[in-house]
């Protein structure tokens, strides 16, 4: 309920007005003189004050001044005598909200009060709005501070070196990551140095061109580079940068540096240890093959010695055969080594892949019978004469078929009926698939992993550890590919795809 303070020295007017205003729903306080009015105002702080202008003692103008002095927001309506326009204007000058003439008419009073109330309401709303705005600004400021802090911490804790500049390249951010890479403290850099000064000429040029360029050119993608640190050390880094914009306005630049020293060191170590491991494996693989051959040579020469000493021709003959076999194995090992270590371009010649596959099967047929392994061949009759490297095909197939037979021979599950199957099949895009499958021992993951990459044998004196290395190399040189499907105890299927060329027309 709006409070109104009525001040008039005429008790009748005071009474009539008070009654009328109470009837309109106001809470009304009254005072019979200016000085009483001030006292009453101090007590009740009415929002609206209605005061007569002509009063003995303190007049209405003085009351107006005092009340406005106490509460600038109080609405003071002056009641003036008829035609007392001079006083009315003076009152407005001192901040009166309105004036009404005597005798006070209800409608004029209603309008004046209504205006006063509207002003109070507007002021209240303005105040609320202002207050609200302040709250919002405070929240936004807090959020902004939080984000700035967050970004600041993010930049500080980044392992990467982050260097940001203004649009003249003067450095404004130089995080601890950058300190570690460049060897400068941020106090030496911030607002003292320009980014291009810290970079190589070439890198500086890139950054400067990016800054000078049209705005579409704003990102410098990651690349390897090197920078010189404070101590003059060349440090390998990954570098990327970006020109910062706000709208069309260039704000500056930011550059990111990743220290590659540790990675480079690890890479060097890795290459070194891989090379050592490869050498070690090669030597171990070779040594194994050679040890078996040497044992054969020792046996052979022992028998030869015995034969000579005892004039025993049988021992002499057997010993000599042993030596010859050892020589043969040496020769195979050396040839394998050579063909593995030497680059060789495939020689595309006219040949019949099915015939070559059949030849390979013939070569091992006797061995298969001895070892109770069934040898099956299924050749695609649509494959005729094509141009491919017959040497590659022969070597690859012989290796794979021998391996398949070994897989059966070394199989410990003797309840199986072993078989090795050789298939040929015409494939799209001028390729032939050669498939050699067996139901032998299969391979575990370790063997499968090593089969094409390591000098590795599981076969004692039967293997040089080179067969599949050679096979793999020949297939690759021929532009083909090789796939292996194996299951321990179940068997292995090796498929080789070799491309061929059409027979030359007219040939």
Partner 1 sequence: MAKKVLTVDDDPDVRLFTTTVLEENGYMPVEAGNGEEGLQMIQSEKPDLIILDVLMPRQSGIRLYRELRTNKSLAKVKVIILSGIAKKTFLRSQQALTEFGETAVPEPDFYLEKPVDADVLAETIKKAIG
Binding footprint of partner 1 on the chain (CB under 8 A): 288, 291-292, 294-300, 302-303, 306, 315, 318, 322, 325-326, 406, 409-412, 414, 458-462
- Name the minimum Å distance from CB 288 to partner 1: 5
Question: Based on CB atoms, which residue is closest to partner 1, 159 or 444?
Answer: 444
**Residue with Cβ nearer partner 1 (32 or 299):** 299
The residues that bridge with 373 in the sheet, in sequence order, are none
Residue 348, classed as helix, strand or coil, is coil
Of 55 and 303, nearer to partner 1 (C-beta) is 303
Report d(CA 240, CA 257) in Å as an integer.
7
Query: Residue 270 or 488: which CB sits closer to partner 1?
Result: 488
Q: Which is nearer to partner 1, 321 or 476 (CB)?
A: 321
CB of 329 to partner 1, least distance (A): 10
Residue pair 330/464 in contact (Cβ under 8 Å)? The answer is: no
The residue (of 249 and 370) whose beta carbon lies closer to partner 1 is: 370
Dist CA 396 CA 339 (whole Å): 12
Q: Phi, psi at residue 84, to the nearest 5°? A: -90, 55
CB nearer to partner 1: give 377 or 458.
458
Q: Which CA distances in Å does 463 have to 293, 469, 501?
A: 11, 12, 34
Cα 63 from Cα 58, distance rounded (Å): 7
Helix (H) or strand (E) holding 327: helix 313-341
* Residue with the two structure tokens 């094409």: 452
Q: Provide CB contacts within 8 A for 159, sequence distance 6+.
A: 177, 258
Question: Would you state the structure tokens that stand for residue 119, as one six-digit string?
Answer: 């002003």
Task: For the CB of residue 296, give the shortest distance to partner 1 in the complex, in Å.
Answer: 5
Residue 381 CB, shortest distance to partner 1, in Å, is: 35
Least spacing, CB of residue 403 vs partner 1, in Å = 13
Residue found by looking up tokens 């021979």 in the block:
409
Give the residue among 243, 278, 97, 263 at the shortest CA–CA distance from 167.
243
Select 396 or 466, whichever has its Cβ closest to partner 1: 466
Pairing of β 386-388 and β 349-351: antiparallel
Taking the C-alpha atoms of residue 235 and residue 226, their distance in angstroms, rounded to an integer, is 5
């Amino acid at each position: 309920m709006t409070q109104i303070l009525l001040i008039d020295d005429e008790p009748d007017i005071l009474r009539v007005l008070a009654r009328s205003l109470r009837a309109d729903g106001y809470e009304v306080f009254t005072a019979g003189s200016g000085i009483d009015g001030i006292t009453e105002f101090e007590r009740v702080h009415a929002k609206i004050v209605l005061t007569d202008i002509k009063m003995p003692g303190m007049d209405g103008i003085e009351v107006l001044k005092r009340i406005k002095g106490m509460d600038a927001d109080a609405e003071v309506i002056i009641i003036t005598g008829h035609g007392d326009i001079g006083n009315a204007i003076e009152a407005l000058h001192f901040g009166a909200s309105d004036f009404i003439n005597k005798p006070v008419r209800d409608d004029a009073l209603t309008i004046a009060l209504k205006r006063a109330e509207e002003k109070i309401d507007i002021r209240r709303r303005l105040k609320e709005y202002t207050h609200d705005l302040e709250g919002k600004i405070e929240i936004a400021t807090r959020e902004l501070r939080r984000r700035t802090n967050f970004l600041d911490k993010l930049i500080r804790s980044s392992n990467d070196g982050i260097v940001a500049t203004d649009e003249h390249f003067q450095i404004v951010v130089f995080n601890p990551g950058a300190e570690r890479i460049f060897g400068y403290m941020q106090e030496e850099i911030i607002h003292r140095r320009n980014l291009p000064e810290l970079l190589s000429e070439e890198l500086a040029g890139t950054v400067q061109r990016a800054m000078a360029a049209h705005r579409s050119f704003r990102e410098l993608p990651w690349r390897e580079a090197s920078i010189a640190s404070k101590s003059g050390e060349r440090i390998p880094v990954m570098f990327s940068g970006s020109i910062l914009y706000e709208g069309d306005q260039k704000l500056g630049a930011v550059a990111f540096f990743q220290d590659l020293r540790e990675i480079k060191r690890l890479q060097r170590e890795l290459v070194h240890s891989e090379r050592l491991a490869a050498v070690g494996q090669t030597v171990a693989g070779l040594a194994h093959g050679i040890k078996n051959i040497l044992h054969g040579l020792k046996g052979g020469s022992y028998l030869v010695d015995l034969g000579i000493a005892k004039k025993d021709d049988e021992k002499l003959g057997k010993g000599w055969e042993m030596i010859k076999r050892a020589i043969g194995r040496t020769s195979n090992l050396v040839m394998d080594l050579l063909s593995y270590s030497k680059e060789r371009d495939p020689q595309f010649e006219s040949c019949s892949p099915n015939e070559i596959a059949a030849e390979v099967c013939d070569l091992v047929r006797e061995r298969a019978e001895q070892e109770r392994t069934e040898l099956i061949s299924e050749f695609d009759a649509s494959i005729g004469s094509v141009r491919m490297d017959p040497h590659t095909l022969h070597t690859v197939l012989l290796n794979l078929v021998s391996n398949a037979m070994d897989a059966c021979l070394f199989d410990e599950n003797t309840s199986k009926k072993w078989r090795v199957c050789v298939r040929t099949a015409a494939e799209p895009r001028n390729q032939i698939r050669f498939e050699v499958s067996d139901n032998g021992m299969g391979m575990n993951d370790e063997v499968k992993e090593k089969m094409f990459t390591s000098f590795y044998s599981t076969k004692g004196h039967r293997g040089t550890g080179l067969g599949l290395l050679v096979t793999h190399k020949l297939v690759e040189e021929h532009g083909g590919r090789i796939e292996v499907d194996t299951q321990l105890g179940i068997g292995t299927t090796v498929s080789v795809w070799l491309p061929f060329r059409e027979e030359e027309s007219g040939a």
